[in-house]
Amino acid sequence: MTLEYIEPIVARDMPGLRLALTAHMPAPYSMSARAILDLKKVGYVPVNQVAAGANEVLQAWTGHRNAPVAVYENEAPRTGWLEILHLAERLGKGPSLIPSDLRERMLMIGLINELIGEDGWIWNLRVLMLGMVGPERAAKGLKTNPMYAQYGYSEAAQKQAGAKAREILDMFTSHLKSQRDRGSHYVIGEALSAADIYWACFSLLAKTLPADVCAIPAGLRKSYDLGSEAIGGCDPILIEQRDWVFENHLSLPMTF
Ligand SMILES: N[C@@H](CCC(=O)N[C@@H](CS)C(=O)NCC(=O)O)C(=O)O
């Protein structure tokens, strides 16, 4: 089952929440924004963003070329995971995905930021993957594919990317192990939080899901797998964790 994406030219004049998504692939920033909104039972109109495309109309409407972009009524467009999470909390219902305990909240925000924020695990993994085509093609990419410049690719960045990504993933692994030792199956404290959802969605970059539950386009699957291998794979606890979250709090197969 695929999602029905509305073109930006139509969506910009619609009311309510419009959510630009990298269409037809399990792009984790987009998938996680959807997962958070779905869990909070917030409806939205999926809007088409073309991966690596110029996305002129989206850019003119929202000021952003990439995804996700959440536009609620006539409010300013939101693109960061934390602002989209806060919007979901404001518009949605059910238990909060943000811990009420201050220390847990700080830990959750810091941890998610390390995993998916700028210069975090996924950011560096992406730099690594963009460079996997070799320096010559990557140099060409800097001129022809907006993702290279937008996501900080350079030969120098690529050289450091693997170690930076590894360090963060190792930190997350030891954090998860200490949670299990404390008897909790959740990433933060003893309840479901946004950290569980982000990890599940982004875990595809640690290990892809089987084709029957996630029909990733072949090229993208290869690139995700090679990226993960390049930093030495991941501890099984990270995969057990995401499988458990999918089983208990999210649903499969993934649709996109
Ligand atoms: N705005 C996000 C980052 C979004 C992002 O990295 N999006 C990527 C991954 S889904 C994307 O749109 N890629 C396709 C493209 O750049 O065309 C943030 O600040 O956390």
Residue 115 lies in a domain: yes
C-alpha to C-alpha distance for 196 and 200, rounded to whole angstroms: 6
Is residue 141 located within the same domain as residue 41? no
What average pLDDT does range 24-36 have in this prediction?
Answer: 97
Indicate if the pLDDT at residue 17 is higher than 90. Answer: yes
Q: Which of 202, 201, 197, 241 is nearest to 89 (CA)?
A: 197
Q: Which long-range contacts (CB under 8 A, 24 or more apart) does 144-153 make?
A: 145/52, 146/52, 146/54, 146/65, 147/51, 147/52, 147/66, 150/65, 150/66, 151/123, 151/126, 151/127, 152/118, 152/119, 152/123, 152/127, 153/127
Ligand 1 atom closest to the CA of 122, numbered from 1? 6
The residue among 91, 124, 140 that closes a domain is 91
Expressed in angstroms and rounded, the spacing between residue 222 Cα and the centre of ligand 1 is 19
Expressed in angstroms and rounded, the spacing between residue 29 Cα and the centre of ligand 1 is 6
- Asked if 152 and 68 count as a contact pair (C-beta separation under 8 A), the reply is no
Residue 2 lies in a domain: no
Residue 84 lies in a domain: yes
Is residue 228 located within the same domain as residue 190? yes
**Can you give the length of the chain in residues?**
256
Is residue 162 located within the same domain as residue 230? yes
The residue among 31, 66, 91 that closes a domain is 91
Ligand 1 atom closest to the CA of 123, numbered from 1? 6
- What confidence tier does 16 reach under pLDDT thresholds 50, 70, 90? very high
The residue among 23, 56, 91 that closes a domain is 91
What average pLDDT does range 117-144 have in this prediction?
Answer: 96
Is residue 138 located within the same domain as residue 25? no
The C-alpha torsion from 73 through 75 and 81 to 82, rounded to 10°, is -120
Residue 117 lies in a domain: yes
pLDDT digits (tens, 9 = 90+) for 165-182: 999 999 999 999 999 999
Is residue 207 located within the same domain as residue 240? yes
Question: Is the Cβ atom of 147 under 6 angstroms away from ligand 1?
Answer: yes
pTM over 0.85: yes
Expressed in angstroms and rounded, the spacing between residue 103 Cα and the centre of ligand 1 is 28
What average pLDDT does range 112-126 have in this prediction?
Answer: 98
Question: Is the Cβ atom of 22 under 6 angstroms away from ligand 1?
Answer: yes
Expressed in angstroms and rounded, the spacing between residue 178 Cα and the centre of ligand 1 is 31
| Among 25, 29, 201, residue to substitute to test ligand 1 (most atoms within 8 Å of Cβ) | 29
Q: What percent of the chain has pLDDT over 90?
A: 99
Q: 20: domain CATH number?
A: 3.40.30.10
Is residue 45 located within the same domain as residue 141? no
What average pLDDT does range 123-127 have in this prediction?
Answer: 97
pLDDT digits (tens, 9 = 90+) for 223-244: 999 999 999 999 999 999 999 9
Question: Is the Cβ atom of 32 under 6 angstroms away from ligand 1?
Answer: no
- Residue 64's domain comprises 8-91
What average pLDDT does range 29-45 have in this prediction?
Answer: 98
Is residue 38 located within the same domain as residue 131? no
Is residue 12 located within the same domain as residue 41? yes
Indicate if the pLDDT at residue 222 is higher than 70. Answer: yes
* CA-nearest residue, atom 7 of ligand 1: 67
Is residue 46 located within the same domain as residue 160? no
C-alpha to C-alpha distance for 95 and 160, rounded to whole angstroms: 40
Please give the radius of gyration of the chain, using alpha carbons only, rounded to the nearest integer.
18
Residue 97 lies in a domain: no
Q: What is the rounded average pLDDT for all residues in the chain?
A: 97
Is residue 229 located within the same domain as residue 124? yes
> What pLDDT, on the 0 to 100 scale, is given for residue 2?
83
Expressed in angstroms and rounded, the spacing between residue 64 Cα and the centre of ligand 1 is 10
- What confidence tier does 1 reach under pLDDT thresholds 50, 70, 90? low
| Among 19, 56, 66, 254, residue to substitute to test ligand 1 (most atoms within 8 Å of Cβ) | 66
Q: 216: domain CATH number?
A: 1.20.1050
pLDDT digits (tens, 9 = 90+) for 66-101: 999 999 999 999 999 999 999 999 999 999 999 999
Number of domains in the chain: 2
